[in-house]
């Protein structure tokens, strides 16, 4: 068996995104013990950096040692006790996953369902809160399966009338690409993942919990049913006690630290502006080619763009040619959107004008060869025009 040499890829799917070379270098640094004073320093710095990127002062702000789904599971297993009423907003795969976890925790689930590809109906959310008076309202800020944004400010607005309800927010795809502003919007529990807009390999789930959230966990009458994700123990490992709980994935924490340093160096606002601009250029290019976006402009994510597959075109054939001929990975649709959309990620290091222009050029060539009659004028030109109207990208 030979050494594994991965093919050269440009990662423009729903995650993982491309990692910055500095992050990959950090990953390969020599190991130290997980209770080595040098590593304890790394743990402290990661907590500080995460507070900056989440825009929070929450003391309990740490990476859970597993992927984004473990962040989701940690949120619900810690906050829910059997019989608790929970409202979950569902407009894609990840709202579905939340619902599944809530019922596994013994929560009394009420779903506010919205058609996939559409923004939440906040009036419907309000009515459901009124009717069920839940302990928790949960929503996905960036629904990676559909490309729809749920602004946390609108959830907070609805929650004004329901002071007892905690707000739980999935920030897996939004953190580092869209503003999350945890404290400003009074989010009580947020979780993310490393391989989306943080541009780090998959493996850690940064979380942050408000004082109210911590209080709710302390007041539990029953033990958290997951030993590994029980935050009352995990927080002691990350806090002053350093009580051994599990062995932190050392190298992944090196990588996360470097990716967060990169974000702070770039500046949060610059980073959001970059994600917005590359999104705008991509949409201009896609539309100039005569293709259509799935989501209406006001509900669109910048970091995950969903494009309708034109009639008569095979979704899988186009994606497989993008990969084999151009080394570009994009995603296909899931569930009701299977075969109907492409999912183009512009996350973290992958959100770059080169990638936008390269993808538009590749897509245009493949679609013409597949016999699609594209609108006259080129996607690349339309996207370039958007970049030309802006400051030169860094
Ligand atoms: C990717 C993703 C998850 C799950 O994260 P994994 O790292 O795949 O476990 C959860 N929520 C959203 C919105 C995601 O995009």
Q: Is the CB of 141 under 6 A from ligand 1?
A: no
Q: Is the CB of 202 under 6 A from ligand 1?
A: yes
Pairing status of strand 166-170 against strand 85-90: unpaired
Separation of alpha carbons 220 and 224, rounded Å: 8
Separation of alpha carbons 101 and 7, rounded Å: 36
Q: What b/e string do you get for 259-274 counting C-beta neighbours within 10 Å, with b at 16 or more?
A: bbbbbeeeebeebbbb
Can you tell me whether residue 59 is helix, strand or coil? coil
Separation of alpha carbons 80 and 224, rounded Å: 9
Separation of alpha carbons 291 and 357, rounded Å: 16
Per the CB < 8 A criterion, the answer to whether 255 and 200 are in contact is yes
Adjacent-strand bridge partners of 87: 110, 137
Q: Is the CB of 192 under 6 A from ligand 1?
A: no
Separation of alpha carbons 342 and 344, rounded Å: 6
Can you tell me whether residue 354 is helix, strand or coil? helix
Adjacent-strand bridge partners of 111: 88
Per the CB < 8 A criterion, the answer to whether 77 and 225 are in contact is yes
Closest residue to atom 2 of ligand 1, CA basis:
172
Instruction: Quote the pLDDT of residue 176.
Output: 98
Instruction: Quote the pLDDT of residue 390.
Output: 79
Question: Which of 196, 229, 304, 347 most suits a substitution to test ligand 1, by most atoms within 8 Å of the C-beta?
Answer: 196
Six token digits for residue 347 = 């996350």
Alpha-carbon separation of residue 114 from 31, 101, 103, 124 (angstroms): 47, 19, 20, 9
Q: Which atom of ligand 1 is nearest to the CA of 195?
A: 7
Residues ≥6 apart with Cβ < 8 Å to 321:
366
Torsion over CA: 268, 269, 272, 278 (sign): negative
Q: Is the CB of 201 under 6 A from ligand 1?
A: no
Pairing status of strand 60-64 against strand 331-332: unpaired
Crossing angle of helices 122-132 and 152-159, in 10° steps, is 40
CATH 3.40.50.300 fits 21-265, yes or no: no
Q: If the chain, 394 residues long, is cut into consecutive pieces of 10 residues, what is the mean pLDDT of each piece? A: 96 98 98 96 98 98 98 98 98 98 98 98 98 98 98 98 97 98 98 98 98 98 97 95 94 98 98 98 97 98 98 96 98 97 98 98 95 87 94 55
Separation of alpha carbons 238 and 248, rounded Å: 10
User: Looking only at Cα atoms, what is the longest distance across the chain?
Assistant: 66
Separation of alpha carbons 278 and 12, rounded Å: 12
Q: Comparing 21-265 with 267-388, is the CATH topology the same?
A: no
Question: Which of 69, 168, 301, 343 most suits a substitution to test ligand 1, by most atoms within 8 Å of the C-beta?
Answer: 69
Architecture category of domain 267-388 in CATH: Alpha-Beta Complex (3.90)
Distance in Å from the first CA to the final CA of the chain:
42
Q: Is the CB of 179 under 6 A from ligand 1?
A: no
Can you tell me whether residue 90 is helix, strand or coil? strand
Q: Which atom of ligand 1 is nearest to the CA of 304?
A: 15
Q: Is the CB of 69 under 6 A from ligand 1?
A: yes
pTM: 0.97
Q: Which of 131, 147, 11, 14 is nearest to 91 (CA)?
A: 147
- What is the number of other CB atoms lying within 10 angstroms of the CB of residue 320? 12
Per the CB < 8 A criterion, the answer to whether 333 and 341 are in contact is yes
Separation of alpha carbons 150 and 142, rounded Å: 6
Instruction: Quote the pLDDT of residue 394.
Output: 52
Adjacent-strand bridge partners of 140: 170
Instruction: Quote the pLDDT of residue 375.
Output: 82
Instruction: Quote the pLDDT of residue 261.
Output: 98
Q: What are phi and psi of 119, to 5 degrees?
A: -75, 160
Domain boundaries, the chain: 21-265, 267-388
Q: Is the CB of 67 under 6 A from ligand 1?
A: yes
- What is the number of other CB atoms lying within 10 angstroms of the CB of residue 391? 8
- Residue 316 CA, ligand 1 centroid: distance in Å: 22
């Amino acid at each position: 068996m030979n050494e594994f040499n991965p093919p050269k890829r440009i990662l423009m799917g729903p995650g993982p995104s491309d990692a910055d070379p500095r992050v990959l270098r950090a990953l390969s640094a020599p190991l130290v013990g997980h209770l080595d004073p040098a590593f304890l320093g790394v743990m402290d710095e990661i907590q500080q950096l995460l507070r900056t990127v989440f825009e929070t002062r929450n003391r309990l702000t740490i990476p859970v040692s597993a992927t984004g789904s473990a962040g989701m599971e940690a949120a619900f297993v810690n906050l829910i006790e059997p019989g608790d009423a929970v409202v979950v907003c569902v407009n894609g795969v990840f709202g579905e996953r939340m619902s599944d976890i809530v019922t596994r925790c013994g929560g009394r689930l009420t779903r506010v369902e919205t058609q996939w590809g559409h923004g939440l109906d906040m009036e419907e959310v309000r009515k459901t809160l009124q009717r069920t008076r839940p302990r928790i309202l949960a929503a996905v800020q960036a629904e990676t399966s559909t490309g729809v944004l749920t602004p946390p400010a609108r959830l907070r607005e609805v929650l004004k009338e329901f002071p007892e309800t905690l707000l739980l927010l999935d920030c897996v795809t939004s953190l580092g690409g869209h503003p999350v502003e945890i404290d400003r919007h009074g989010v009580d529990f947020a979780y993310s993942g490393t391989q989306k807009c943080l541009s780090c390999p998959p493996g850690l789930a940064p979380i942050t919990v408000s004082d109210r959230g911590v209080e709710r966990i302390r007041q539990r009458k029953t033990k958290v049913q997951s030993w590994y994700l029980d935050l009352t123990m995990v927080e002691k490992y990350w806090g002053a006690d350093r009580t051994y709980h599990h062995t932190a994935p050392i190298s992944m924490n090196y990588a996360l630290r470097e990716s967060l340093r990169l974000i702070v160096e770039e500046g949060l606002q610059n980073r959001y502006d970059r994600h917005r601009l590359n999104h705008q250029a991509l949409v201009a290019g896609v539309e100039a080619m005569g293709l259509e976006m799935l989501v209406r402009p006001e509900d669109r994510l910048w970091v995950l763009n969903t494009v309708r597959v034109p009639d008569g075109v095979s979704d899988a054939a186009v994606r497989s040619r993008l990969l084999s001929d151009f080394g570009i990975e994009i995603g296909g649709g899931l569930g009701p959107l299977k075969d109907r959309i492409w999912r183009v990620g512009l996350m973290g290091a992958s959100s770059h004008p080169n990638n936008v222009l390269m993808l538009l050029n590749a897509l245009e060539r493949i679609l013409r060869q597949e016999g699609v009659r594209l609108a006259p004028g080129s996607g690349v030109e339309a996207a370039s025009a958007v970049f030309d109207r802006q400051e030169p990208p860094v």
